[in-house]
Amino acid sequence: MVFFFLRCDYGLPVILILKNGVSDQQIDHVIDRVESLDLKAHLSRGTFRTIVGIIGDETEIPIDSLRAIVGVEQVIPVLPPYKLASLEAHPQRSVVQVGEVKIGGGSLAMIAGPCSVEEPERMEHLAKSARQAGANIFRGGAYKPRTSPYDFQGLGEEGLKILRAAGDKYAMPVVTEVTDPRNVELVTRYADMLQVGARNMQNFVLLTEVGKSGHPVLLKRGMSATVQDLLMSAEYILSQGNSQVVLCERGIKGFDTMTRNVFDIAAVPLLASLTHLPVIVDPSHATGRPHLIPACALAGLAAGADGVHIEIHDQPEVARSDGPQALLPQQYADLAEKMRQLAALLGKHISPLNAEALI
């Protein structure tokens, strides 16, 4: 049997599925409990199931309390818990602005740069190479959350200054990771976009602070996070009034060790069906293998991604971090040309930078 519950001007329903064999007394208790919360209950009896539809302000419906009522088997909210990130609640797709670069709405982000910020000369060289290849956002980590406490942790504020100088010289907005809520204000002084990395995707204090900053945010999917986990993390940022959020699929942990992570390409169209937020892909972290990056980058665009995030380095063997997964500048330039051609076939374009800027 199928049950239908209509939207009302004053709220959206939650559905309670009651247990098989529930007694009339238990049903009455469920309805009394719902109505005691100033909500409306609509009872429907099926051949095998009895359900109660609840209508009211969904933000005031105590889901856990309803689950605890004797006779209730399951509580199903009709709206997803990520209300601000939901496409249903926000049917017009968002376009995020990073400097003069637009992400979403047919405009693609081409983010490129080394894993870690290094010496100024190298950063300027890589920024110039990325810009000439067609990248429109320069990236580099000044703060690096590493698996080992003995690995290079980044140059800190000095790295932020180097990154900003390289971006300014070639008129490129810059994105860098923020790892500590206490550093959000500092990083916003230098960066055009804040990155929340996979290891911090569920650092809710950090998410709240970057939300308060009002800065554009690149939110990477956690290594073991579900798609809903990612959307709920985005909800933390959105709930602070910051709508400038871009999601990033960067691979999740699997059992196969042939690649660094499992590139969940299906997450791209799935997210597009669930949220209005732009979605980009990071095939560098997803695969960890340079020869796999081009195919996965193109696959991401073909699946509907709003941009591609790729690590590059001119001497990967001396990189301070993640050198083995970086493309050489010429390899990136070759891939960027293919991405431009594919974007044209898809009716999209790479968001342009100021053509008069020095390159």
Q: Which residue has the higher pLDDT, 39 or 186?
A: 186
Alpha helices in the chain (DSSP H): 24-36, 63-67, 120-133, 157-169, 184-190, 204-213, 227-238, 267-274, 283-287, 293-302, 329-345
pLDDT in tens, 116-152: 999 999 999 999 999 999 999 999 999 977 677 777 7
Answer yes or no: is pLDDT of 221 > 50: yes
pLDDT of residue 172: 97
Answer yes or no: is pLDDT of 302 > 90: yes
pLDDT in tens, 309-342: 999 999 988 877 777 889 999 999 999 999 999 9
Answer yes or no: is pLDDT of 199 > 60: yes
pLDDT in tens, 258-297: 999 999 999 999 999 999 999 999 999 999 999 999 999 9
The rounded distance, in Å, linking the Cα atoms of 197 and 176 is 10
Report which listed range, 57-61, 69-73, 208-212, is most confident. 208-212
pLDDT mean across residues, the chain: 90
pLDDT in tens, 73-93: 988 877 788 889 999 878 899
Helix, strand, or coil (residue 157): helix
Answer yes or no: is pLDDT of 3 > 50: no
Q: Summarize the confidence of residues 228-249 as an average pLDDT.
A: 96
Answer yes or no: is pLDDT of 354 > 90: no
pLDDT in tens, 165-191: 999 999 999 999 999 999 999 999 999
pLDDT of residue 80: 80
**CA 198 to chain CA centroid, nearest Å:** 10
- What residue ranges define each of the domains in the chain, with the CATH number in brackets? 12-77 (3.30.70.1140), 96-350 (3.20.20.70)
pLDDT of residue 78: 73
DSSP characters over 284-333: HHHH--GGGHHHHHHHHHHTT-SEEEEEB-S-GGG-SS-GGGPBPHHHHH
Answer yes or no: is pLDDT of 12 > 90: no
Answer yes or no: is pLDDT of 98 > 60: yes
User: Binning pLDDT at 50, 70 and 90, where does residue 59 land?
Assistant: low
DSSP characters over 56-96: E-GGG--HHHHHTSTTEEEEEESS-S-TTTBTTT--SPP-E
| Of 235, 246, 225, residue with least CA distance to 204 | 235
Q: Summarize the confidence of residues 291-307 as an average pLDDT.
A: 98
Q: Which residue has the higher pLDDT, 127 or 43?
A: 127
